[in-house]
């Protein structure tokens, strides 16, 4: 496994724990289809949150959420549509981004952006 994947997996785990501490119910992790992958799908109240986790090193240039550009957003929207077709529900979908900043193996910051983008 490469270092980028290890760092990404660590960021996803930290984000999932952060969500659980805030009373989100993790429904699924790493849901994938031909359009892409959604890192975390979580429920809170009447919301179904599709969470893109972006992990960066402390000395990286720019904010992690900047990597969720228009193309990535479109892939996430299509992937969420596939998920909802396979798992119909009455919950309101929301697209969030979790920024995880690491220094070595230590978490420096988790910045959670609710409703980061949408259809």
Spatial distance between the Cα atoms of 62 and 20, rounded to a whole number of angstroms: 27
CATH of 3-117, one of 1.20.1090.10, 1.10.10.60, 3.40.1350.10, 3.20.20.100: 3.40.1350.10
What are the extents of the domains in the chain? Answer: 3-117
- Give the residue with greater pLDDT, 2 vs 111: 111
Tell me the per-residue pLDDT of 43-99, one tens digit each, with 9 for 90 and over: 999 999 999 999 988 777 788 888 899 999 999 999 999 999 999 999 999 999 999
Give the global pTM: 0.93
- What beta strand segments (E) does 1-119 contain? 25-33, 36-44, 47-57, 92-103, 106-117
Give the Cβ contact number of residue 83 at 10 Å.
Answer: 20
**Half-sphere exposure of residue 92, counting CA atoms within 13 Å on the CB side?**
8
- What pLDDT does residue 119 have? 58
DSSP annotation of 26: E
Six-digit token pair at 16? 């999932």
Q: What are phi and psi of 105, to 5 degrees?
A: -100, 5
Q: What percent of the chain has pLDDT over 90?
A: 72
**Could you tell me the two tokens for 17?**
């724990």
100's tokens: 């995880």
CA 103 to CA 75: how far, in whole Å? 29
């Amino acid at each position: 496994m490469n270092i980028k994947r290890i760092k990404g997996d660590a960021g996803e785990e930290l984000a999932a724990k952060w969500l659980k501490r805030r009373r989100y119910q993790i429904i699924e992790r790493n849901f994938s289809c031909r359009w892409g992958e959604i890192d975390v799908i979580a429920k809170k109240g009447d919301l179904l949150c599709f969470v893109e986790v972006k992990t960066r090193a402390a000395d990286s240039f720019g904010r992690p959420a900047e990597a969720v550009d228009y193309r990535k957003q479109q892939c996430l929207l299509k992937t969420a549509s596939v998920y909802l077709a396979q798992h119909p529900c009455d919950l309101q979908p929301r697209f969030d981004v979790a920024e995880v900043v690491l220094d070595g193996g230590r978490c420096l910051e988790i910045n959670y952006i609710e409703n980061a983008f949408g259809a």
